[in-house]
Amino acid sequence: MLIEYTDGTTQTVVTRTDDGWRATDTGPHRADDLYDGQTYDARRELTGWTAPGFDDTTWSDVERVAFEDRYPDVRLLAYPAERALRRPLGPAAVVRHRRHQ
């Protein structure tokens, strides 16, 4: 990830890829979408995939593609978080309605 600060300086934050990086599309994560959420199929769990010695020979090699080459017109911007309200709130008003007869 390339971070560009407002003063123009940049910082690259990545884990270096090497020949050991592999990926699969057969796992439980089926889709991710900002608006529609995540589709996760637990029946496709890959037991032990985080453990040393896991057999990933059926997985594909990955290729590093420079973000700025693939998406030259896109800027990644941090979304400012909303401040947390740190005081208890009471009711703004108490309203009593008369029953219609």
Residue range of the domain that includes 11: 2-70
Residue 39: inside a domain: yes
Burial label, 33 (beta-carbon count in 10 A; 0-12, 13-18, 19+):
exposed
Q: What is the DSSP letter of 52?
A: T
Residue 50: inside a domain: yes
Residue 97: inside a domain: no
Residue 99: inside a domain: no
Q: Which residue has the tokens 């990086």?
A: 21
Q: Which residues are 23's β-sheet partners?
A: 60
Q: What is the pLDDT of residues 42-85, one digit of tens each?
A: 999 999 998 999 999 999 988 877 778 888 888 777 766 666 66
Note the pLDDT of residue 39: 94
pTM: 0.46
Note the pLDDT of residue 42: 94
Residue 84: inside a domain: no
Structural domain total, the chain: 1
